[in-house]
Structure 1
Amino acid sequence: VEARVNIHQRAQWYLNQPTCKRLIEGGEFVYCNFHALAAGDMVGYVSKSFLPGLLLVGDAGGFAQPVDNFGANVALWLGRMAGELCAEMKATNDYSEAMFAKYEENWRNSWVGEDNVPEISVFMRDGGLNQVFSSMDEAVSYAFACKWENKSYPSIILGVIPKLLPVLPVLLEMPHLGRRAAEVGLKRAAPFMQLLGLWPSAGPNAPTSKGQ
């Protein structure tokens, strides 16, 4: 397969983007690795993830998470989907192409498919996705700062709305983008909030020691 982009040049372009640059600026370069993923009719994913006797999972199918660029959770989820389908095929002794096709139908109807609607490719190309994340990140940071200053909820809401107006059309069309962006913003803020004692250091389901 002939590559249409130079992955090393593309990697340098990403490293020089403001969002990435501010994270690595002033740091010491230790090691950096990039690799290309298969691209199909939608973002990252190949156009068909199955053939008779074959189910594509993880990087083999280009299953990088297109919203937060994290693929392990998708690979694990689809690995489970593929395993359950294989168990079903073995139990029913049905290895038809229709059974293999159920794999793609299942993941496209799950949260994996929800995050990979065709329009996302447009947002990624024109910078709209970065704008969504930037706006949500700014809104989450602002809300935390207001909470720290004990501002009222109405004043927080009035302050957040102008920050979301530029990306409101996108959020109305695909609300899950805003939800995922907010989750990423919360994860970024969590260590700082833990330091201030305003955020739990362990998840709600984390085991507690005896006596607690």
Structure 2
Amino acid sequence: MSAAAWGGLLIAWLAAIALPGPDVFLLLRLGIRERRAAVLAALGIMTGNAVWILVSVLGLSALFAALPFLLPFMQVAGAFVLGYLGVQSIRGGIAGLRSRAEQSTAGSVRRPWLLGLTTNLANPKALIFFTALLSQFLPVGAGWEVRAAIIAVMIATGVAWFVAVALASSAAAFRRWFGGAAPWFDIVAGALFVLVALAILAEVAVALAAAP
């Protein structure tokens, strides 16, 4: 790969993961409670991204072209998972507002790595994104050394970014400023999850209606 292709790939990748979405909102929500939970969730998110990267770089996305029903099925399943996570987050935020117990940032978060992994994998649209991204920059007939380098660089930069977000959101200053708003973070994050889930379901419904 040329230097220009590497630069374009990294810029597009970093721009994509820097955009606020379920992954980032999850880290903000956990960071104001517990640094360890936020970092583990960040690693879970990148474990999910690593799956999508591997599938795309290794060309396994052709499986979805051979089995066209598979992607809509995964999208619907992922939408329900995101919706469930969103509802749970909203309920937790409402309960926190009522009791104000959530204003304290103390306490542990259960299975944060799994929560990060589930949040990321619940959106199979990531596979389409990675496939489209790599098709623009990956040379035709690229060897395994190039593919391995792409995998390593994307995973390394992704881990660095998400862990940095986790550390920043769990910093003492951030927690001091926003710790009292923890229930609102839950509600906003939950609402975002639900909206993303509804958008995925709507897109699947439109695609199925337009199918011959």
Q: TM-score, normalised by structure 2?
A: 0.27
Q: Which has the larger radius of gyration?
A: 1
More helix by share: 2
